[in-house]
Amino acid sequence: MGQGYVYLVGGGPGDPGLLTLKGAECIGKADVLVYDRLVSRRLLSLARPDCERIYVGKSPERHTFTQDAINEVLVQKSREGKIVTRLKGGDPFVFGRGGEEAEALLDAGIPYEVVPGITSAIAVPAYAGIPVTHRDLTSTFTVVTGHEDPTKNASAIPWELLAQGNGTVVFLMGMENLPLIGEKLIQHGRRPDTPAGVIQWGTRPEQRTLVSQLDEIAKQAEKQGFSSPSVIIVGDVVSLREKLQWLEKKPLFGARIIVTRARNQASTLSKAIEDLGGEAWEFPAIELAAPTQPEHLAKAIAKIKTFEWLVFTSVNGVEAFFKEFERQDKDIRELAGIELVAIGPVTQSALQERGLKVAFVPPEYRAEAIISGLASRVLRGQRVLLARAEEARDILPESLKALGAEVWDVPAYRTVMGQGGAELHDLLAEKAVHAVTFTSSSTVKNFIKLIGGEISLLEGIKLFSIGPITSATARELGLTIDGEALHYTIEGLIESLIEGVRV
């Protein structure tokens, strides 16, 4: 059995985009992932499918594991010769008890490494538009545990020093003690009207912020239902929030949105959602696979010079076609004289990137518009090659045949079921999702299969479609579409989300 190894990794404050590159690497190589309550569930998806996941989360109400038990898990699993990644919210050495875990590993002779994370003490105020320092207001800040009872006789918190001057004070884990924190600071000299803020679930879609003054903040927080996990910040810098807040101004702020596209395509939509302040969760309802009978595409490409028209109805078709084209060691000049058709601008771009000129792009990005546009262009007897999904609708080849064309309808790829699992079901059941996006009829059909046909899970969740064909499929299956892209593209779908998602 080989020597085990432990990584003590800071997972950041909540936004999965704030995980460090090294932290992501450690999650990916782990045999065992030991994680906390405040770690974003999206970070768990970075682990290998065979990685053992152990939840050791703690909350103010209860502890799933004691710290000694957590230490023992780290030692035991590493002694089995496994790579263990201990994933903690924020930074492991900022009130994360990472120092205690490091000591336990050292005592047991287990090699370890610390991977710092972005602490919520700085990141959460920043996401609320509050800098912890500012040249005109203060050049110091202090991070304090708010978990200690401020009334105990032997407090380790230097209240006199915290209350003096104009330095920023950030309290972590202090919501239970918020009234006493305010009292202590005022008692030792802080102005009652000092700006103070509470930020709950900072950097996440649930983030909300309260700004008041020190002698009122506890009362206002209770009135508005603020609770743990929250960061408390006291100091003149809090007054800058009104001017500097940025996250809440983004059009999709607060929206958690499920992306159902195939994994190799999802990133474009996911990035657009997150650039606009939303949180994208990728649960591919479809995956792309080779067609059942790949020899048909191979045969068509071998005879490519015999066609007058080559029609692509997706980027996937373009990529599958040229993968086989290159496998046969074909020369791009063999496409000379063939008119190329693309269903939309994205598919057109995929062809143009290969140095090809597209003869026709319909004004409306669906098969019916292709037929309308080609009706006066395709001559009787001309040969048309369609390179598209195996399960695509019959309307396009049948309509072209009706024009007198000789049509080769060749499957370039097929879509198969993606993966969702228990996590998707849980997110929907907890109503932690605000919207689901569908980019094809296949994504609708397979998504319903992923949730076991439990359409009731989608009650109260808005559904968005990329176009009328996808919307029609959804309605046939009993779903209500809340928003449909005016232009049948990812950009159009994003515009529909901006218009229709109200969190």
Q: State residue 156's pLDDT score.
A: 82
Q: State residue 149's pLDDT score.
A: 61
Q: State residue 8's pLDDT score.
A: 98
CB 439 within 8 A of CB 414: no
Residues 63-75: tens digit of each pLDDT:
568 999 999 999 9
Using a pLDDT cut of 90, give the percent of the chain over it: 82
Residues with a known catalytic role: 36, 58, 173
**DSSP state letter for 419:** -
The pLDDT of 21-35, averaged and rounded, is 97
The pLDDT of 173-179, averaged and rounded, is 94
82: left (phi over 0), alpha (psi -120 to 50) or beta: beta
**DSSP per-residue string spanning 170-224:** EEES-GGGHHHHHHHHHHTT--TT-EEEEEESTTSTT-EEEEEETTTHHHHHHHT
Same domain, 233 and 144: yes
Q: State residue 359's pLDDT score.
A: 95
Mean pLDDT of the chain: 92
Final residue belonging to a domain, choices 372, 394, 417: 417
* Domain of 309, in residue numbers: 289-417
The pLDDT of 253-275, averaged and rounded, is 87
Mention every residue, 6+ apart, whose C-beta is less than 8 A from residue 182. 196, 214, 215, 217, 218
Phi and psi, residue 71, nearest 5°: -55, -40
Same domain, 294 and 408: yes
Using a pLDDT cut of 70, give the percent of the chain over it: 96
Q: State residue 153's pLDDT score.
A: 64
Same domain, 36 and 97: yes
Same domain, 267 and 208: no
Least confident among 240-244, 392-396, 454-458: 392-396
Residues 208-237: tens digit of each pLDDT:
999 999 999 999 999 999 999 999 999 999
Same domain, 235 and 88: no
CATH number, position 184: 3.30.950.10
Mention every residue, 6+ apart, whose C-beta is less than 8 A from residue 153. none
Same domain, 219 and 262: no
Same domain, 367 and 439: no
More confident residue, 95 or 154: 95
pLDDT band at 287 (very low <50, low <70, confident <90, very high): confident
pTM of the model: 0.81
CA-closest candidate to residue 311, choices 205, 215, 386: 386
Mention every residue, 6+ apart, whose C-beta is less than 8 A from residue 63. none
**DSSP state letter for 365:** S
Q: State residue 415's pLDDT score.
A: 86
The pLDDT of 445-458, averaged and rounded, is 93
Same domain, 244 and 306: no
Same domain, 75 and 128: no
Q: State residue 239's pLDDT score.
A: 97
Based on the structure, what is the number of domains in the chain?
4
Final residue belonging to a domain, choices 197, 221, 248: 248
Q: State residue 45's pLDDT score.
A: 87
Pairwise CA distance, residues 454 & 267, whole Å: 27
CATH number, position 436: 3.40.50.10090
Output Rg (C-alpha) for the chain, integer angstroms. Answer: 28
Final residue belonging to a domain, choices 231, 248, 265: 248
Residues 367-400: tens digit of each pLDDT:
888 999 999 999 999 999 999 999 888 999 999 9
3-state helix, strand, coil in the chain (%, to 5): 40, 20, 40
pLDDT band at 501 (very low <50, low <70, confident <90, very high): confident
Pairwise CA distance, residues 56 & 286, whole Å: 33
pLDDT band at 266 (very low <50, low <70, confident <90, very high): low
pLDDT band at 61 (very low <50, low <70, confident <90, very high): low
Q: State residue 264's pLDDT score.
A: 65
* 58 pLDDT more than 70: no
Pairwise CA distance, residues 366 & 371, whole Å: 9
Pairwise CA distance, residues 68 & 97, whole Å: 11
Residues 309-345: tens digit of each pLDDT:
999 999 999 999 999 999 999 999 999 999 999 998 9
Q: State residue 98's pLDDT score.
A: 95
Same domain, 301 and 273: no
Q: State residue 428's pLDDT score.
A: 93
Same domain, 136 and 225: yes
Same domain, 60 and 111: yes
Output the 3-class SS for 258-292. EECCCHHHHHHHHHHHHHCCCEEEECCCEEEECCC
Q: State residue 147's pLDDT score.
A: 79
The pLDDT of 69-86, averaged and rounded, is 96
Question: In this structure, what token pair is assigned to residue 462?
Answer: 């808005």
**DSSP state letter for 248:** G
Mention every residue, 6+ apart, whose C-beta is less than 8 A from residue 232. 146, 170, 171, 174, 175, 178, 181, 196, 197, 198, 217
